[in-house]
Each structure stands twice: as C-alpha cells, then as structure tokens.
Amino acid sequence: MRRLLTLLAAGVPLAAAVYLPTASAAPENSTASAPFNCATPSLKAPAGTEVESVTAVRQAGGTIHGTGILGGTVDDVPAFCQVTVTLTHPGDNDHAKVQTWLPVSGWNGRFQAIGGSAYAAGDGGVGLGTAVKNGYAVTTTDAGVGDVVDTSWALSSEGQVNTALLKNFASRSQHEAAVVGKEVVGAVYSKRAAYSYFTGCSTGGRQGYMEAQRYPDDYDGILADAPAVNWDEFEVATLWPQVVMNNEKTYPTGCEFDAFTNAAVKACDSLDGAKDGLVNDLERCNFDPRSLIGTKVVCEGKELTITAADAAVVSKIWDGPRTASGKKLWSGVPIGADLKGLAEIEVDTNGTVKGKPFPVPAVWVQLWLKKDPSFDVSTITYSQFTQLFEQSQAEYDKVIGTDDPDLSAFRESGGKLLTWHGLADQYIPTQGTVEYRKQVEQEMGGSGRVDDFYRLFLAPGTDHCGLNGADGSADGLGALRAWVEHGKAPSTLPATLINASQQSVTRDLCSYPQVSRYDGYGDPAVASSFRCVSPSRH
C-alpha cells in the first residue's frame, strides 16, 4: 500500500492495494490430465441476467501487467485460457464483465474468485495472474463499474443515484461471478472444482462478508481481510479527521502527526511485555496526546512547537466521530496508524494550509449523499456531519452495509470465514471489524460456537491490507485451505510484521479475542518468544 501511495502522490491515493493471495504455489491433487478445451463455452445466464457476449482466448502467459491506477506486474505466469462473459440485467442498461482465467496445465482442482479495491469491484490482472501461477482457476468481475477511484457511474444524467450499478457493486455481481466462473470451469475442464474460495481485502473483504451473509453456498472458504463492512457508516466516519481540522481551524503538519503516532507507539509498546516496536492490544493504550504539548518537532528544516490545539485535534481523531451532545457514532483512527492517511493537508497557491480529504469517503458524501459532485466537503460542520452519517445509514445500510450478524446459513453450509485486520489500519478502523465479530457472537451463541466457522486475527503494527506483501505477509489462503480441506482450524496465523524501526519480525497472530504476550525471555523478534493469552478485559 505504501508503494502505491507513493506512486499516486501526484494524483489520488487508494483505499486498498492489489490483493495477492499467497497460498501454496504447488498444485495439490493436480488435475492436469483433465480434458482442456479453451473454446467459447455455452453458458446458462444467472437468474435475472442475460448473457451479452462470451469469448475464449488462449493466452501465452509470461508477465502480466495490471490495468488501472493500481497497475503492478506478475512474472512467470503459465499459459492460460481467458474466458470473458458480459452480463446485463434487462432494463438496467448495465454491462458487467466476468473474467475467468484457467491454467492450461497444472490446475490444482480449485476455484478462486478475487474481490476489488475502493470503488473497483474486481481485480486488474495481477491477482488473477498470481492465482493462475499458483494453480487456481480464477474469476473476477468489474460489476459494470469503473476503476478504483472512477465514480463516473454513481449518478445518472438527471443527478439521481444509479441504483442498478450500486446494487451490482454492492452484491449481485459478485454472486453472478461465482455462478459464471464455476460454469466456465466445468466447461473448460469437463469437471467441477473440488473446492471454491473467495479472496479479497478492503472492498474485497466487504464482498467476502457479503457472500457469507447473502449467498452462503457460493464458497467453501472466504478470506476477507481488512473488510469494509459497515460501509454506510465507516465511509462517512473516515471523513471525520478532515471535519475536525476544518472546524477547529487547526492543521498539524505530517511531521507533527508522526510525532504523536510515534510517541503513542513508544508509550504503549511494552504493554505486551516486550519492547518490540509493536502495539498488540490497542484497548489498553491510554496515551494522552496532551503530553506532547510544547514538544519541538523539526519538519523540513523548520522547528515547530506542538500546541494544545494540535493535541486536541489528534485526540478527536483518535476518539472518532461524536454528535454535538457527545454520543459516539463510530471508531476513530487507531492509535499507531498513520494519521496522514485521512488527515492529509496541502498548501494552496496562496500559501494557505487546508485539508486534503481522502477521495473514497469524500466522493461517497458528494455523490451518494449530496448527489452533487461540486459539493465542498470542507464546509461540513459538526452538526452537518451527524446528519450525513445518519442519512447514509438510513439510505444505504440495507444496500451496502454488509453488517448482518446472522451467519447461520453460512455455518450450516459448512463454509469457513477467515479474516486478518491490521491494528494500524489508517483507512478502515479495525474496531469496526471487532464490533461486527462481537455482534456475530451475540447472535450465534458465543465465541466458541463462532470459532467453529469464523476466525479473526488482528495484526499489530500493520497498515491497510499490509499483510499482502507491502508491509508484511501472512498466508491466509493457505490457512483457510487447511481449515476447509483438512479440518485444521487455525489457532494462530503465522505472519511477518514490520515494527516501528522498519525491521521484520515474526509473530503468530492470535485468534480473537486472544492477544500476544512476551514470555519474558527469548528473542522478541521471533514468534516463539510470545504466547496467546486472554486479554485482561475478558
């Protein structure tokens, strides 16, 4: 993600990185001897759709270049059959493209679907190529919408919300891609996949939860990381840092924001028993930003002094949005996360410092709430923020909230749901995922019963989608496969993390609600020096 933000520094940053499932390159139970037919298949349209076109092209593989802003490349992709199916919903004038890539040889007998990023519903090619390289037949859909920050589809020419495309983006196109992708696999290989998986992070994570909630029979296993669930709430909530700065008329520099973050990490680092540059249990971190008032910070050669106003802004951002009467609306940016992600600032041509809102929540407010692309989000007052938050809930929770805690149908189908979420996620507050998990426990009989099919792992010091190789790694898909195919429920998720000193350390991420504790001896850079324990609050 950090690499992508650097690339996009002159344009717009993104809410999610390319999702690269890392599991098991070696094909297991290879079905390479199965008949292979890369020809245009005859397909039955999913319910409610019509098939507009179908093409099948044999591709040589090699280096795959990702499309759109995310770009990226993946090398040494073997030859594959690329089947493209375009669907439409009669009367909606939409055109949703479903791509399925199928290895010519070495298919591991499994089907995988890949979710999207920000406002893109699917993958731009790098995830697809990686999956093929790892032996999977793989599907993604564009849902008939655009690239990650392309929201030209949001409103009709009359200025009304395009409800058909929003429905595609929110739910129905993902399910239709599952139906089409499996059908294509059967046509090309003359047999069905032995197991079906969904993988995604951020928007892709939300899509995975949507599948478990609405279409519980689509997948045997779902890997849904840093999930953008509670979309209608958190999208507005992530505009809060800008609202705070604008209303307080205080705009700390990036250096000052970093000073608060670094001080908080340093203060709360040893709560797990080890000074390792990682904060394991955020709920025990009570760092007070007022302790930095008067501190000198050197930024771009200038010495700045942190003020009480700066500390008040950081306190409000960490606390999260509240109503004028003090009622909490949503979680804030996690302590330890990069505050510059949502509280970015810029200097205009007149030398005036102003906020630079993150585009994903900004356009949600402009297009889906105000229905006005020219609406200036910097004018939002605290009371107007509450109104927008409540409007978003009222209009869109049932459409894209993706927060139904009743997963009984998914459990009964035998499905498994695995999630990791970074505790330093600067774009999607980690606490939203934790609260959803708590709601599922309350709905479905407690943590023990929920652990039978749904497990959550929180990753210290990890930013948004940061275990996908940019700022750490974890083989979530490998753990999910072992759970689905061999009944080995993961009590921990082995990961490589990057600490505050930018050093790699290994950790066994604990299954929620457990947290990691240093055993008092051993190298704090290795996982074996830590154990999972119940946090003191439980």
Query: Which residues does the annotation mark as catalytic?
Result: 202, 425, 464
Judged by DSSP in three states, 258 sits in helix
Judged by DSSP in three states, 140 sits in strand
Q: Under a CB-based contact definition with an 8 Å cutoff, are residues 102 and 83 in contact?
A: yes
Q: Under a CB-based contact definition with an 8 Å cutoff, are residues 169 and 121 in contact?
A: yes
Which residue carries 């409540």 as its tokens? 390
Cα–Cα dist 277/262, whole Å: 10
What is each CA distance from 463 to 315, 345, 417, 426, in whole angstroms?
Answer: 20, 20, 21, 6
Give the largest Cα separation in the chain, rounded.
Answer: 72
- Amino acid 37 reads N
As given in the structure block, the two tokens for residue 398 are 């049932």
Which residue carries 């690239």 as its tokens? 147
User: In residues, how long is the chain?
Assistant: 538
CA angle 102, 66, 419 (to 5 degrees): 75
Q: At what angle do helices 254-268 and 308-319 cross, to 10 degrees?
A: 60
Cα–Cα dist 70/23, whole Å: 22
CA angle 61, 65, 68 (to 5 degrees): 140
Buried residues in 444-463 as b, exposed as e (16+ CB within 10 A): beebeebeebbbbbbbbbbb
As given in the structure block, the two tokens for residue 145 are 């919408």
Cα–Cα dist 215/113, whole Å: 14
Peptide bond into 524 cis (omega under 30): no
DSSP letter (8 states) at residue 451 = H
Nearest to 172 by CA among 213, 142, 143: 143
Strand partners, 244: none
**Residue 456 is inside which H or E element, if any?**
strand 454-459
Which residue carries 């002094």 as its tokens? 305
Phi-psi region of 3 (alpha: psi -120 to 50; beta: other; left: phi over 0): alpha
Q: Which residues fall within 8 angstroms of residue 91, CB to CB, at 6 or more apart?
A: none
As given in the structure block, the two tokens for residue 416 are 């498994």
- The CB-side HSE value for 398 (13 A sphere, CA atoms) comes to 3
Cα–Cα dist 92/191, whole Å: 33
Cα–Cα dist 283/287, whole Å: 11
